[in-house]
Chain A
Amino acid sequence: MSYDPYPPHDSPAPHDSPLPRLTYPWQPPPPPPERRRLPRRPALGNHSDLRILRGAYRRQRRVATTAALGYFCLFLGLSAFAPSLMSSTGTGGVPTGLLLALLQLPVTWLAIALYEHTARRRVDPLADRFRKQAELDARREAAR
């Protein structure tokens, strides 16, 4: 990575070259340096790889988090605002609320299994490919 561990707080980052000093203040400022040249070399198709990986990760994270948090919030809401439903007796003489609460534990195990499975199938291959690509890039750079 191209950052310094201790950059001075007010100076621009090292690769962000400051504007050249003007000889005369009335001189028109020179055109800004071309931003396009900043990466110095094109990366090996990493951009699309990264995009796919990012998408896969994001979907994975969002679905899993929303599901877990959503179920719990629903449960909390029901406990707080629908006490009659939650205290009605369910199967085996246990109140529905407690049953719903204890049901969350098997659901947790299921969620973990599901998460691991999808992550291994969808995300890991992409991450592996991306990492290999990046290593290749790095080696090529070192050889140059």
Chain B
Amino acid sequence: MTATTTLTAMTGFRDSAQTMSLVAFTSVATITLLLCVMTGPDRDDLDEFYTGYGSLSPLRNGLAIAGDYISAASVLGAGGVIALYGYDGVVLALSTALSLLLLMFLLAEPLRNAGRFTMGDVLARRMPGRSVRIVACAATIIALLPLMLVQLAGAGQLLAFILGFSSDFLQTGCVIGLGALMISYAAIGGMKGTALIQILKIVMLLGSGAVIAVLLLNRFHWDLGTFFDTAAERSGAGPAFLHSGLEFAGGPSPRLDMISSQLTVVIGGACLPHITMRMYTASSARQVRRSMSWAVSSVALFVVIVTVVGFGATALLGRAAIARADPQGNTAYLLGSRAAFGADVSTTEALLFTTVTTAVFLTLLASVAGMILACANSLAHDVFATRVQEMPVRREMTLARYSALAVGVPAILLATLVQHRSLQPLVTMSFCLGASAIAPALVYSLFWRRYTRTGLLSTLVGGTLAVLLLMPGTNLVSGSPTAAFPHADFNWFPFTTTGLVTIPLGFAFGWLGTIASGRREEEEQRRRYDAMEGWILAGAVRRDSGEAHGETPYDRRKSPA
């Protein structure tokens, strides 16, 4: 494998580093699993399983949100795009941060007030009914599945890269083993257990990353001008590396492609259900605001780190070496970290590098666990628990745990199938789905008074279908040597993302569906919204009709009144 040979050629301590990494991975896996068992919910309490009872302080909750948000795809992907395309990669990383900022400004507080456990709860608060919940669950799973596949398949590749094996059989074994570990995190730990892992991961990732960034800049004597110029020089693209246009060159309208891709990330990134699910764990709107402040700050710090490491990788190793290790540059973050130490590596530095690899390993584990949890919660709470009027709490929790298995096992199987293809289109697809189906549905149902059930269903179904139809025609799927199907060419939609068409479509579907359901239905919805506006704005009941504070009639079964 070329990747391993590059790494080996660069360093003189292949064996010791690999042994160290292996030991570190094993111990991290053991410790985190133990943490999950110890902090997992021990009583028959849905609140505890789904939200951890809002017991996390804003700082910890914020770190958990950031941990969920910075998935392995963003660490490795963003590092790669920055190392290969420079400026465009930096803008991508900035879009990621901005997306979370927008979530904080626009949706976080109303989401916390309106939601309870899942996205289905938020939507069904205004439009009760099983159809809404089932569609919400389907949208959740369809949006998160591609992202899970990417991380799972990436986990195999990463382990192969770090531990230096190249057999496909072993790689598949890694995917299956790690997948099993991720499922157990979600099933055993629930919300609180995974939160702890996310916190551990983000602290390790940011801590080790910050040290690496300082080391890298130190090698250039803190002269940013020289730093960027060297990167531009060694990228082979010259000054073009430092302004927009490298990544999206080649299409018929590169500027439009660039703008629509970045906006898709901005709109869709933070709306994905595994992020929004963390909003419900805060105990009040104020707490959610504080948590999001910490989360956005951590993500901003991460953007700085990944920018420095990405540029540093190109400046020290050259673009060609990075592209040789992985055409998408997914290993650039690790290569850059390694290059920060120079030729002679002391024990401390080897230890530091092991920390970096372990942080990335933990990132892979934790982000998939978070996504599995989001899907499993939705499946158990929105689909199965609403099938019967009164489901015992214990049963719903057992169901949630089996759902983790039901979501995780197919994901692992699919991941072993796609692991040798380019995974970029899958990441893009998740973001497109978030931006075209989930974002419009959430924005409309939290802020538009006349939004009806038909409108909601057509947003979710129409937006999702539009993405699924357009996605196969995009640049990343076929028609170029780096695409997922390099030997075929059915590239009829010459853009990187589908956002340009599907985001307006998603919003338009919602509007049309609402208009089509007639004036009476709209008025009915407006009345309902008025009745619950107090809830959405302040978390208070305005026209109380008997239920206890903080509960909907649907949830009354869960607390013996």
Contact B541 A134 (CB under 8 A): yes
B57: min CB distance to chain A, Å:
16
Contact B228 A134 (CB under 8 A): no
Contact A87 B239 (CB under 8 A): yes
Contact B243 A83 (CB under 8 A): yes
Interface centre among B259, B286, B300, B544 (most CB of A within 10 A): B544
Interface magnitude class on chain A: 35 or more
25 residue pairs from A and B, CB less than 8 Å apart: A1-B531, A5-B128, A6-B130, A7-B128, A50-B533, A53-B537, A65-B102, A69-B102, A72-B98, A72-B266, A76-B91, A86-B244, A92-B223, A95-B228, A95-B242, A95-B243, A97-B244, A98-B228, A98-B242, A120-B286, A127-B537, A127-B540, A128-B538, A130-B538, A138-B544
Report the nearest B residue to A67, measured CB to CB.
B105
Q: Can you add 16 more A-B contacts, CB < 8 Å, to A105-B304, A137-B544?
A: A4-B553, A6-B130, A9-B129, A65-B106, A68-B101, A69-B102, A79-B258, A80-B259, A93-B228, A93-B229, A101-B90, A105-B303, A108-B97, A112-B104, A119-B289, A131-B539
Please encode chain B, from 270 to 290, with 1 for each CB lying within 8 Å of some chain A CB and 0 for all others.
000000000000000110011
Please encode chain A, from 105 to 123, with 1 for each CB lying within 8 Å of some chain B CB and 0 for all others.
1001101100110011000
A143: min CB distance to chain B, Å:
12
Q: How far is the CA of A51 from the CA of B485 in the complex (A)?
A: 55
B528 within 8 Å of A (CB atoms): yes
A61 within 8 Å of B (CB atoms): yes
Contact B290 A116 (CB under 8 A): yes
B124: min CB distance to chain A, Å:
8
A77 within 8 Å of B (CB atoms): yes
B244 / chain A contacts, CB cutoff of 8 Å = 79-80, 83, 86, 97
B97 / chain A contacts, CB cutoff of 8 Å = 104-105, 108
Contact B537 A57 (CB under 8 A): yes
Contact A108 B101 (CB under 8 A): yes
B255 / chain A contacts, CB cutoff of 8 Å = 80-81
| Given A79-B258, A94-B225, A115-B104: A134 in contact with B293 (beta carbons within 8 A) | no
B85 within 8 Å of A (CB atoms): no
- Chain B: residues with Cβ within 8 Å of the partner, total of 66
| Given A83-B243, A134-B540: A124 in contact with B228 (beta carbons within 8 A) | no
B516 / chain A contacts, CB cutoff of 8 Å = none
B95 / chain A contacts, CB cutoff of 8 Å = 72
Contact A98 B543 (CB under 8 A): no
B262 within 8 Å of A (CB atoms): yes
Q: How far is the CA of A105 from the CA of B299 in the complex (A)?
A: 10
B306: min CB distance to chain A, Å:
12
Contact B128 A105 (CB under 8 A): no
Ordered nearest first, which 6 A-B pairs have the shortest CB separation?
A: A93-B225, A138-B544, A134-B540, A80-B255, A79-B244, A131-B540
Within 300-328 of B, Cβ neighbours of A (below 8 Å) are at 300, 303-304, 307
Q: How far is the CA of A115 from the CA of B259 in the complex (A)?
A: 27
Please encode chain B, from 516 to 554, with 1 for each CB lying within 8 Å of some chain A CB and 0 for all others.
000000001000100111110111111111110100111
A28: min CB distance to chain B, Å:
22
B472 within 8 Å of A (CB atoms): no
B296 within 8 Å of A (CB atoms): yes
Contact of B296 among A94, A112, A135 (CB under 8 A): A112
A59 within 8 Å of B (CB atoms): no
Contact of B544 among A75, A80, A141 (CB under 8 A): A141
Main secondary structure of the interface of A (DSSP, over half): helix
Contact B259 A135 (CB under 8 A): no
Contact A101 B87 (CB under 8 A): yes
B290 / chain A contacts, CB cutoff of 8 Å = 116
Contact A53 B262 (CB under 8 A): no
B106 / chain A contacts, CB cutoff of 8 Å = 61, 64-65
Contact B87 A98 (CB under 8 A): yes
Q: How far is the CA of A61 from the CA of B109 in the complex (A)?
A: 10
Within 32-55 of A, Cβ neighbours of B (below 8 Å) are at 39, 43, 46, 50, 53-54
A17 within 8 Å of B (CB atoms): no
| Given A65-B106, A72-B266: A77 in contact with B259 (beta carbons within 8 A) | yes
A2 within 8 Å of B (CB atoms): yes
B94 within 8 Å of A (CB atoms): yes
Please encode chain A, from 1 to 28, with 1 for each CB lying within 8 Å of some chain B CB and 0 for all others.
1111111010001001000000000000
Within 60-96 of B, Cβ neighbours of A (below 8 Å) are at 87, 90-91, 94-95
Contact of A112 among B91, B297, B543 (CB under 8 A): B297
B115: min CB distance to chain A, Å:
15
Contact of B128 among A4, A65, A77, A130 (CB under 8 A): A4
Contact B300 A135 (CB under 8 A): no
B494 within 8 Å of A (CB atoms): no
Report the nearest A residue to B229, measured CB to CB.
A93
Contact B285 A127 (CB under 8 A): yes
Contact A97 B300 (CB under 8 A): no
A46 / chain B contacts, CB cutoff of 8 Å = 534, 542
Q: How far is the CA of A97 from the CA of B240 in the complex (A)?
A: 12
B371: min CB distance to chain A, Å:
26
A66: min CB distance to chain B, Å:
10
B226 within 8 Å of A (CB atoms): yes
Contact A109 B542 (CB under 8 A): no
Q: How far is the CA of A112 from the CA of B98 in the complex (A)?
A: 11
| Given A95-B242, A134-B541: A5 in contact with B101 (beta carbons within 8 A) | no
B302: min CB distance to chain A, Å:
10
Contact A72 B94 (CB under 8 A): yes
B1 within 8 Å of A (CB atoms): no
B23 within 8 Å of A (CB atoms): no
Contact A127 B538 (CB under 8 A): yes
B307 / chain A contacts, CB cutoff of 8 Å = 102
Q: How far is the CA of A137 from the CA of B543 in the complex (A)?
A: 8
